[in-house]
């Protein structure tokens, strides 16, 4: 499935009841446990972004999914992250990443 379609599919989830919408709690849980959560075999930043995309969408937020690339000593390095307008839990990529995809 193309990445933009996957991101849209993840975003189309039912929103939780108001009393369960705690994006900062979900972020803390994912940060602590993502290594042991599925899907396996993904880079940590990509896996974390997929998990938080789903959970933050369930909180009624509209996270944007970003991919970026940078060159370090001749080697390409990729990174995935989320941003969310109006929520300070959004991430900022490390310096030097050129954004290549946003959905």
Are 76 and 39 in contact, with CB atoms under 8 Å apart? no
- Residue 68 in tokens: 């970026």
Q: What pLDDT is attached to residue 86? A: 74
Q: What are the residue boundaries of the structural domains of the chain, listed by start?
A: 3-102
Query: Mapped to the 3 state alphabet, what secondary structure does the chain carry?
Result: CCHHHHHHHHHCCCCCCHHHCCHHHHHHHHHHHHHHCCCCCCCHHHHHHHHHHHHHHHCCCCCEEEEEEEEECCEEEEEEEEECCCCCCCCCCCCCCEEEEEC
Q: In whole angstroms, what is the distance from residue 26 CA to residue 28 CA?
A: 5
Res 90: pLDDT:
67
Each residue's pLDDT, cut to its tens digit, for the chain (103 residues) gives 898 999 999 999 999 999 999 999 999 999 999 999 888 899 999 999 999 999 999 999 999 999 999 888 889 989 999 988 877 676 666 678 888 888 8
pLDDT for residue 49: 93
Full-model pTM: 0.87
Distance in angstroms (rounded) separating the CA atoms of residues 22 and 29: 11
């Amino acid at each position: 499935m193309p990445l933009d379609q996957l991101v849209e599919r993840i975003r189309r989830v039912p929103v939780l009841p108001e009393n369960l919408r705690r994006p900062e709690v979900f972020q803390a849980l994912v940060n602590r446990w993502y290594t042991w959560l599925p899907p396996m075999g993904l880079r940590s930043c990509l896996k974390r972004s997929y998990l938080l995309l789903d959970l933050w969408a369930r909180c009624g937020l509209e996270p944007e999914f970003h991919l970026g690339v940078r060159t370090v000593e001749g080697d390409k390095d990729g990174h995935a992250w989320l941003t969310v307008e109006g929520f300070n839990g959004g991430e900022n990529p490390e310096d030097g990443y050129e954004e290549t995809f946003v959905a």
